[in-house]
Structure 1
Amino acid sequence: MSPLWWIWSAFFLLECVVAIYLNSYIVFFNGRSLTEGGKRNPVSLIQIVMGINKLTMRCIWIVNDVAFWLPDIFESSPYNAVAFLIAFNMYFNYWLMAWLCIYYSIFITNFSHPMFLWIKRILLAFLNQVLFLTLVGSLAIALLVYMWRDTVFSLRYNSMNGTTTEDVSIAYFYKIGAIILGSFLPFTGIAFSLVVSLSSLLKHVNNISQTGFDVQVHVTLIKSIAMLLILSVSYFPIYIINLTAAFKLKDPLQYIIWLMIVLSPTMETMIIIQASPKMRKNFPGWFCARGAGGS
């Protein structure tokens, strides 16, 4: 085995342990604070679903990492199920991040626009239904990706017999549909929400700083939003490249793409913990307690 294999495996194992621990913390912490003051906390619910999805994603990536180094498995038909689940987890996570950013944007800002008020009512009254539809929609997007890749494979396999314009159009439809629904729409929601939140917070901090109030909490939140925005902007082309590029087995570029795909959800988790004063405050104690076998 090449040195690159050992480096990748060691890094992936370390990142896997960190990701599982951080997302377990997100799930357990928000599970205890799901209801505050007798009312359901929408942020906790979204973050719990995100944490469970990322834990599932990490387990599937372990299977994918093993299969990647076993060509007979990697190129076999059963591996399609692993590829399908990876695509589903990726798109589901991206849409969940979009809903979280939209939620923060609506409740951080004080806009009275009818569209903002309507979305606010929907998120408060039908959040469970929204999350369920997001899950179903992510499955549909993953199916589009699978159908596109299957169609492209069929076109290449039958290229000697010629391909019809209809076959190419169907493949193009699947590809564009997956890009718009799985990447462009959630990215637009994330970017717009974060920009609106960032501008609102900057204006608010500028106003209250002149009165002498402590703005450290707001500054921390601004930094977290800025990091999420940078991460989302960087991750958007990765989604597109991963969907559209045709990699050869053990292609170095594929290592880079997968590295970004693996790292980004964990970085999102770190930013979410950093942005929450309660989670940030309790994290060291939770770490020590768990490490010592505490509850």
Structure 2
Amino acid sequence: MINLVLIIQLIFGIVQFFVGIMANGIIILVSSLECIKQKRAIAYDFLLTSLGIFRIFLQGLIISCHMIFFFTLELYVSHEAFLVFFFINEVNLWLATNLCVFYCVKIANIVNPFFLWLKRRISRLMPWLILGSLLFSIAISIAYNLLYWSGAKEELRKFLIGNISSQAFFQYLFPIPLLIVGLATPLYMFNAASFLLIYSLCRHIRQMRSRATGFRDPRTEAHIRAMKLVFSFLILYTSYYFVILISFSSISIKKDILMLFCFPVAGLYPSGHSVILILGNSKLKHYTKKFLLSAKYCLRRGSALDSAQTQ
């Protein structure tokens, strides 16, 4: 039974991987073309390009761990692999947080001097925020490596072979302030920006409905769609974050059940979030339809040529 579940999980992970690669590839291509077309780096497109690139790296790491666990039922943790995953994961968390902050500042209607100042300057500040995210991720990865890896590696090895309880491993891992700061800081910022944006959208929807004349207001529907998108971002981001925490802490459940739960949720974040980004952006949606129609046309033309050759 467990083998069947592992096979289904692997197939689901591979589907997530290819969907995410296609979605993030479209985001990178469209955003890069837009920057080339405008002959300058637009903050939003530059952010989407950076996010798409690092999400492809993250998906590669997740599917690699997935394949290793499927064939060996073990996770081999090397120094270099752990550091690469820690860095890529940290950058992805920060870039997603920057995107949520960008949406919040651009869309939310909040009367506050600092917020209004930030609304006017967020486009110019975004490249510096991206650079700061990279530098912060590099710094915390190096610090984690220098201060903590030797002890964590031994405790993780003991846990994987069953010589240490999950409670002891949890107590060893999470008193480390560095790890908590690195993982929790972008989560707090993401949640704050998300709830602030949802609150602003809800308030704006109530105001428009109070002035409604009985007809369907397309602006209200657009705000409702935006709120649903933000809420879905929040669910995916938070679930991925807690999966990462569970993977580190390994609370008292069986290891195979842990991995069966963690891999699908971890793989859903970089692929599902990117698909939602495309569905919520008219420009990305337009180009995605064009790419899909072109691919469909090429497939039909190729099949027609093959049938003509066989005849």
Regarding TM over 0.5, the answer is: yes
Q: Percent identity of the aligned residues? A: 18
Query: Does the CA contact (< 8 Å) of 1:92 and 1:135 recur in 2?
Result: yes
Query: Does the CA contact (< 8 Å) of 2:250 and 2:258 recur in 1?
Result: no
Task: List runs of 5+ in structure 1 lacking aligned partners.
Answer: 159-167
Using a 3 Å threshold, how does the CA distance of structure 1 residues 155 and 265 change in structure 2: closer, same or farther? closer
Query: Does the CA contact (< 8 Å) of 2:194 and 2:234 recur in 1?
Result: yes
**Offset at 1:46?**
0.9
What does 1:113-262 correspond to in 2, within 5 Å? Answer: 113-120=112-119, 123-143=122-142, 146=145, 148-154=148-154, 175-182=176-183, 184-209=184-209, 210-211=211-212, 213-215=217-219, 216-245=221-250, 251-262=256-267
**Offset at 1:186?**
1.1
Q: Which residue of 1 aligns with 2:279?
A: 274
Paired amino acid for 2:136: G
Paired amino acid for 1:185: T
**Offset at 1:250?**
5.8
**Offset at 1:95?**
0.8
Per-residue CA distance 1:241-282 (angstroms, 9 max, x = gap): 222227999622122122211111212112211221222343
Paired amino acid for 2:67: V
**Offset at 1:154?**
4.0
The answer to which structure, 1 or 2, has the higher relative contact order (CA under 8 A, 6+ apart) is 2
Using a 3 Å threshold, how does the CA distance of structure 1 residues 111 and 34 change in structure 2: closer, same or farther? farther
Using a 3 Å threshold, how does the CA distance of structure 1 residues 50 and 140 change in structure 2: closer, same or farther? same
**Offset at 1:56?**
1.6
**Offset at 1:107?**
1.2
Name the larger-Rg structure: 2
Query: Does the CA contact (< 8 Å) of 2:58 and 2:270 recur in 1?
Result: no
TM-score (norm 1): 0.80
Paired amino acid for 1:55: I
**Offset at 1:289?**
1.5
**Offset at 1:172?**
5.9
Task: List runs of 5+ in structure 2 lacking aligned partners.
Answer: 159-168, 300-311
Using a 3 Å threshold, how does the CA distance of structure 1 residues 251 and 107 change in structure 2: closer, same or farther? same
Per-residue CA distance 1:215-248 (angstroms, 9 max, x = gap): 2222211111121223333333223222222799
Q: Which residue of 2 aligns with 1:19?
A: 20
Q: Which residue of 1 aligns with 2:165?
A: none
Q: State the SS of the aligned residue for 1:224.
A: helix
Aligned residues: 280
Query: Does the CA contact (< 8 Å) of 2:100 and 2:190 recur in 1?
Result: yes
